[in-house]
Amino acid sequence: MIVLTGKTASGKDTIAYKLLLKYPLLKRVITTTSRIPRKDETNGKDYYFLTREEFNEKIKNGEFAEYVGYGGNLYGTFKKELEQALISDTLWRIDPSRAGEVREFIKRTFPSGEAQDLIQRVVVIYITTADKVILERLKNRGLSESEIIKRMNDDNKIWQKYSQKYDFVVENAPGRLDQTLNKIISILGSNPRG
């Protein structure tokens, strides 16, 4: 299980997309959010989009392996989405605070034997890039200055708390996406199995 995480606007979605193209048998864990879809996003492909009320109902029903509030919205991963990791290699793109606790979620979601097997196959990769690049990308997304500052401060707090839980840190410098992908591919070693 490849757990891909990192700073806001560090290029995680682009990297995930490229990895899925390179490894067509790799299964993607689709996470869930209460936020409104962006114009280029599709329900069931990019995220499962729920209203806040629907999301809260699923929390009450115990359907999530994990969930978190971030940027005024809820994000989470259905237990059923993680079950595919038991039979094939998966790519799970999640928030860095949640990535820092991924092994705990697995322990709570699966029986101990399955959990231990899966934990041994987990690799958590944290994507970073320069703050000035993130600042520019967030401005281009139309976020307010206060929201940008909040997100960047949140990233720093999360890093301080969870940095020891990430197995690898990879810088995604502007214009160097291929180099970033090659670093990740070398970390993975061999082709993920389907």
Enzyme catalytic residues:
38, 141, 151
Q: Write phi, then psi, for 144 (nearest 5 degrees).
A: -70, 160
CB contact at 8 A, 103 and 164:
no
Compute the C-alpha angle 168/173/178, nearest 5°: 80
CA distance 17 to 37: 18
CA distance 123 to 1: 6
Q: Which residues contact 168 (CB under 8 A, 6 or more apart)?
A: 123, 124, 125, 126, 187
CA distance 45 to 49: 10
Closest CA to 23 of 47, 4, 51, 7: 4
Q: Write phi, then psi, for 78 (nearest 5 degrees).
A: -65, 145
Closest CA to 67 of 47, 87, 91: 47
The two tokens of residue 159 are 């890093």
